[in-house]
Amino acid sequence: MTLSTAQGIASAVRSGERTAREVLEDYLAAVDGREHEVHAFNLVLADEARVAADAVDSAIDAGTNPGPLAGVPVALKDNLCTRGVPTTCGSKILDGWRPPYDATVVGRLAAAGAVVVGKTNLDEFAMGSSTENSAFGVTRNPLDPAKVPGGSSGGSAAAVAAGFVPVSLGSDTGGSIRQPAALCGVVGVKPTYGAVSRYGLVAFASSLDQIGPFSLTVADSALMLEVIGGHDPRDSTSIPGRTPDLVAELDRGIDGMRIGIIEELSGDGLEGIAGDVRARLGEAGLALEAAGATVETTSVPSTVYGLSAYYVIAPAEASSNLARYDGVRFGLRIDAPNAGEMNTATRTAGFGDEVKRRIMLGTYALSAGYYDAYYGKSQKVRTLIVRDFARAYEEFDLLVSPTAPTTAFAIGEKATDPMTMYLNDVCTIPSNLAGHPAISVPFGVGDDGMPVGVQILAPATDEAKMFRAAAVLEAVAPEGHPLVGGGLP
C-alpha cells in the first residue's frame, strides 16, 4: 500500500474523502502481507481496531470532529498499559497480565480519534538495543530482514517503516526511540523528561524513561507530541502546562540560530562511529548552515562518561522497579514448597538473560559498601553532564550528533557481546541523563544502503526549536533514502 502521513489520513477522514474503516483495512492488509516476516507486533487488535474506526466514522456522520488524529492507525509499544489487553513488556513474567487501566498516552490517543492497531515487540522490559531480547522472538528491520531494527522500541519503529501504521509510540530510557528510528529510517522523538506522562508506562528506570512518537515525517511526530503531551496530575514528575503548538513552528526555519556539533559524539572524539555516519553528519551540518544557521564544533566534555554512568544508574533503578514481579501480584507464578522458593523459581523462569544481568548489576551497585563508589559517583557524573550541557546551551541554541554509531547491523552480530551492544546508545544516553529532548531525523544512507539518522538535541522544554531544525534537515535529506518517494502526500 502507499505510505501515508497521519496528517493526511486525519484530513481525508474528517473531510469524508475516506472512512476510518477503509484506512484501517488498508493498513491491516499491509500487516497481513509482511508481519510474518517482520514480527513488529506481539498482538494485533484487528477486531478492536475495527470497532474504534467505526466509532470515528459514526462521529463524523453525526457532524462531530473526532480529533486531530481522526481515524489514524497507531501502534503501541507493549510496555504501555492498555485496559483489558495483554501487556507483556516482551517478558514471560507478565504472561496473562491484563492491566485494569489505560496509560495516560493511550487515553489521549483515543480522545484524539486514533485507532490502536496493536502492541509492538520490544527488548524485554525495554532492556536492549536490537529487539533480540524479547521472550516472543526477534523483530526484523523491514528494509533488510537480515538486520536488526534497533531497540528497545524496535517493533514500533519497524511497524512504521514497514507501512503497518503511519505513527507509533515507544519509550526511550537511553535511546530506545531514537536509535531504532535511525536504523529503520524513520523519525523518532524523545521529549523533555516530564513533557509526556509516564502514568501507565511499565517502569524500567523511572528517572530516565520517557514516551515519544515514531513517524514517517517530522510534522507527524510534532502532531503526535501535541496530542500525548501536557500535564498529568497522576504523574508526579509531569511538567505543568500544555504542550506548545509544535506543528505551527515547523515552517519558521532556523535563520540566525547557532548550532553546535558535539565533538565528543561526532566521531573524532569517540571510538566506533562509522565513517559513513560521520560523513552524513558533516553533510547535515552543511545543510543547516545553508539554511541560515551558524554551525560550529563544540565540546560537551562529560558526555564521554555518559555510557558508564547510565549502566550504573539504569540497572540500579531497574533492580528496584522489577522487584515487584515476585509471582504473587502479576503474571507468571511457578509453584514451589514455600514463598521464597516460589519467588526464585518464578523469576528464574520469567526473566531473560539481559534482564537478569541488569538486575544483578543494579543490585550490586546499590549494595552496602558499593553504593557511594558506584551509584553515588554515577549520579555525580550525571550532574556534570547537566552542567556541561547548560554551558553549551549558553552559546548554542541546538546541538547535533549522530544518532547511532553505525547503520543497522546483522541479527546475531552483537547478541553475545553485551559491551558492544551497549555502545549502540553512546550518542543518545546523554540526553536521557540530562532530561533534555532530542530527535532523530533520517538523513541519507550509509555505504550499505541502510538509513543514517542525525540527532538534534535541545535544552529542556525547547522542543519547538528542535522541530524547526528537524524540518529543515528533512526537507534537504539526500536522495536515496529507502522511504523517500513512497507516496508521501
The Cα–Cα gap between 62 and 422 comes to 52
Bridge partners, residue 457, by sequence = 399, 438
Q: Which amino acid is at 470?
A: A
Q: Which amino acid is at 353?
A: D
The Cα–Cα gap between 89 and 265 comes to 31
Q: What is the CA radius of gyration of the chain?
A: 21
Nearest partner of 186 among 487, 481, 489, 485, judged by Cα? 481
Dihedral over alpha carbons 19, 20, 24, 25 (to 10 degrees): -30
Helix (H) / strand (E) containing 75: strand 73-77
378 is catalytic: no
| Angle (CA) 346 350 354, round 5° | 130
Bridge partners, residue 258, by sequence = 294
The gap from C-alpha 310 to its chain's centroid, in whole angstroms, comes to: 17
Q: Which residues are CB-contacts of 338 (< 8 A; sequence separation ≥ 6)?
A: none
Which one is catalytic: 129, 134, 152, 431?
Answer: 152
The gap from C-alpha 297 to its chain's centroid, in whole angstroms, comes to: 27
The Cα–Cα gap between 464 and 215 comes to 17
Q: Which residues are CB-contacts of 396 (< 8 A; sequence separation ≥ 6)?
A: 258, 259, 260, 296, 298
Strands (E) in 199-240, as ranges, are 211-215
Q: Concatenated DSSP letters for 244-263?
A: P--GGGGGG--TT-EEEEEG
Which one is catalytic: 134, 153, 176, 302?
Answer: 176
Bridge partners, residue 211, by sequence = 171
Yes or no: say if 96 and 326 are a contact pair by the CB < 8 Å rule: no
302 is catalytic: no
Phi, psi for residue 404 in degrees, rounded to 5: -125, 150
3 state SS of 303: helix
152 is catalytic: yes
The Cα–Cα gap between 181 and 279 comes to 19
The Cα–Cα gap between 84 and 358 comes to 29
The Cα–Cα gap between 199 and 369 comes to 34
* Residues marked as catalytic: 77, 152, 176
